[in-house]
Every structure is written in structure tokens, then in C-alpha cells.
Amino acid sequence: MKIKNVSVYTCLQPLKIPFSHASSGLVTNLEGVYVKLEAEDGTAGFGEVRGNCSYFTGDTTGAVVSTICSAIAPKMVGQDAENLNVLHQIIEESLVGNTAAKAACDCAAYDLAGKLAGKPVYELLGGKLNDRLPSEENIPFMTVEEAEKRAEEIIDSGCRFIKVRVGGQQFRYDEERVSAVWDVIRSRGVQDEVVYSVDANQAWNTREAIRNLNRLAEYGVTIAEQPVHYNSPIRLKELKENCPMKLFGDECVATVEDLARYIEMGAVDGIHIKLIKCGGIYNAVRLMNLAKAHEIEYMIGGMDEGMMAVAAAVQCGAVAETKLFEVHGHVRIKADATSGLVVHGSVVEVPDGPGLGVTVREEMLKKVFSAI
């Protein structure tokens, strides 16, 4: 079955609650970019990526759309929709970098292949290991009192993976919130069950990170995500040698090639896998396999992004050999164009429908390109 048409859409996604962390600034809207692949029989597959990620991947919505329309989509028309290896080669060889644009096309290819086969994507990946994905809950920049209340809500909801955003203007403010949340965790008697992590989103230099993380380790924190700038394995390695907790790379480890370099350097204990960074489902599975072979822990996650994008990460989570998930980045969107993903508190159900297992309402999207 050939791909007969590729279309690209955008969708502005206002947030119920704006967010900000050490590198994002205030984000009030997400900007979804959707790719639709249509087969000769009219079956359609969709993929989504968030466009306004300049602080994270360097992407803007316009750049992602332009890259898909000019460099990737025209090459997918006429290809066999069921041959994911060939489609992956075409996407990868279209141009270097540009993993966000590639991810949208890759996820659409998996959605279409799954729908044509009448199978969920996890079956195309070999079969499901997880039915439900208990996801991490965030404690953003807020007052100590608000952080305590949020921690109580998180623990009482049954969630056992908590991440505090750190790297604010004053470390004292970070330490007070991390300490207060640890007190809540201990007062609830769940300190042996909770995975307690912090994410500094590159806020610190190496010296600051060594000092700050050694302080935060006193409060039960066992994972520190991306404390220092993304572009140096040497910084992370120095930190790893002087820090008592596990170091997870997020911004610094995007692709399979990045992970190979960080493994060679011995610079990380774990990585945060996101489809927007690695280029989609195909490469996420490669990252999982490489990480496992080198005893690197991994988290399956994503950005704050639309449900279609999250659904692709959920399919990866279904086949992942990890307990670390962050796959409900869509829950703060006011009106998502996609439906079908079921979330109970912080637990995401893996959908069993064909493809990515969700449905998009095309009338909520704005068409910007079509290649036939």
C-alpha cells in the first residue's frame, strides 16, 4: 500500500496553567505541528510534534513546518506505507539534525502502518510489556507552602515519582522547596517507595552543581536531571565524579549518537528519552536498546505537548524496560484536538486501538501544506 498524500497542519494549544522552568521562560501556549500520511485506500496516520521549543531543541513552529514541507514530505509520497525501515531511511537521509520535524513524520508513519495492519504500534515493536505507565509528577517553581501542598496531593494520589524543578535565581529557594517536599514524603512514610528527583534544566555551572547537588542529596534526592549546560560531556563527567546521586542527561542526550558519546565518556547514569529529541519512535527504540546494553537507566518522557505526541511516547513506554515515565504532557492543554488517551491521576493507560490508539479531529487543525 503506497502513501498517496502528505499533509501538514498546525494547531495553537492554549494552556489551562502556564508553566516556566529554568530554561523555558513563561509558556502560555503550545504550538502543535501535525503530519498526516494518507494511503491509497484512504487510511490516514497522524504524527504530532510541538513546534515552539526554541529553548529546548532550537525549533520554532515555522522551521519545523518548513523542514517537513520542503525536505521530508515530498520524499514520502509514493513509498510503501508498511515498510517502516525504508521510511525511516528516507526520513533520516532527508537532512541532518531537525529531529522534531523527523519525529512528526516518523510517528505518522507508525500510526499509518499500525492502522493498515489493524494493530497497535506496540505490536509492531514486538509486543507490550506494560499496560499502564505510572508517571512522574512535577513540582514547579512555587512557594514552599504551595510545594508542600502539591507534594501531599501527589503522594495521596498514589504517585511515587516526584520531580522538583530547581535552578531558580536563588539556590536557597530551591533548597527550601526540596527540603519541604522531602519532609512531606517522610511524614507520609513513603520514603522507600518514592523516586525523588530534581531537574535544573542546565541552570548551573559545574562548580555550582557539585555544591548544590551535594546539599540536595541530604533531602533524599536520588536523581538529578541535566544540572549543567547541554553541550559538554566533560562537565557532566566531572559532576558525576563529585556528586552522590544519579545523573540523568536530558537536553544533552538527544540522539543515539549522543548516547554513544556519553557512554564512551562515562558521563551519565541515565537518560531522558523524548521523541522530539531523537527523531521519533524508531530512534527511541534504538536508544532503549543501547541504554540497556550499557546498563544506563532511562526514562520515557516528552515535553508539554499535545495528546497525539504523547500517545507516540506511550507506545514506546508500552515496550520499555523501565519504571520511569513522564507521559502526560498534554493534560494542561485547554482543548486538545486529539482524544482517546486515558489518564487516571498520574497513571496513563496504554491504548489498544490500531496505530497510536488515539483519534484526531481534523477540523480543529489548520492545514498549511499538502504534497500529492
Considering CB under 5 A, how many residues would be counted as binding Mg ion?
3
Name the closest residue to Mg ion (Cβ): 250
- Number of neighbours of residue 139 by Cβ within 10 angstroms: 21
DSSP state of 71: I
Place of cell 509558556: 27
- Of the pair 174, 250, the CB lying nearest Mg ion is at 250
For residue 197, the minimal CB distance to Mg ion (Å) is 9
Contact pattern for Mg ion over residues 25 through 44, marking x by CB under 5 A: --------------------
Smallest gap from residue 199 Cβ to Mg ion (A): 5
CB of 297 to Mg ion, least distance (A): 14
- Minimum CB distance to Mg ion smaller for 59 or for 250: 250
| Rounded-to-integer distance, Cα 117 and Cα 291, Å | 29
- Sheet with 44-50, edge to edge strand ranges: 44-50, 27-39, 3-19, 366-371
Minimum Å gap between C-beta 273 and Mg ion is 11
Answer yes or no whether residue 250 interacts with Mg ion by CB under 5 A: yes
Give the nearer residue to Mg ion in terms of CB position, either 112 or 139.
139
* 305, 30 Cβ separation under 8 angstroms: yes
What DSSP string describes 213-279?
Answer: HHHHGGGT--EEE--S-TT-HHHHHHHHHT-SSEEEESTT--SHHHHHHHHHHT--SEEEEEHHHHT
**Residue 158 phi, psi dihedral angles, 5° rounding:** 100, -5
Which residues in 105-114 are b (16+ Cβ under 10 Å) and which e?
Answer: bbbbbbbbbb
Instruction: By CB under 5 A, name the one of 31, 106, 111, 199 that touches Mg ion.
Output: 199
The distance of closest approach from Cβ of residue 226 to Mg ion in the complex, given in angstroms and rounded to an integer, is: 5
Tally the C-alpha atoms within 13 A of residue 313's C-alpha that lie toward its C-beta: 31
Per-residue binding string, Mg ion, 273-292, x by CB under 5 A, is --------------------
Determine the interface stretch with Mg ion among 18-26, 191-199, 237-245, 283-291 (rule: CB under 5 A): 191-199
Residue 31 or 250: which CB sits closer to Mg ion? 250
- For Mg ion, the binding residues (CB under 5 A) are 199, 225, 250
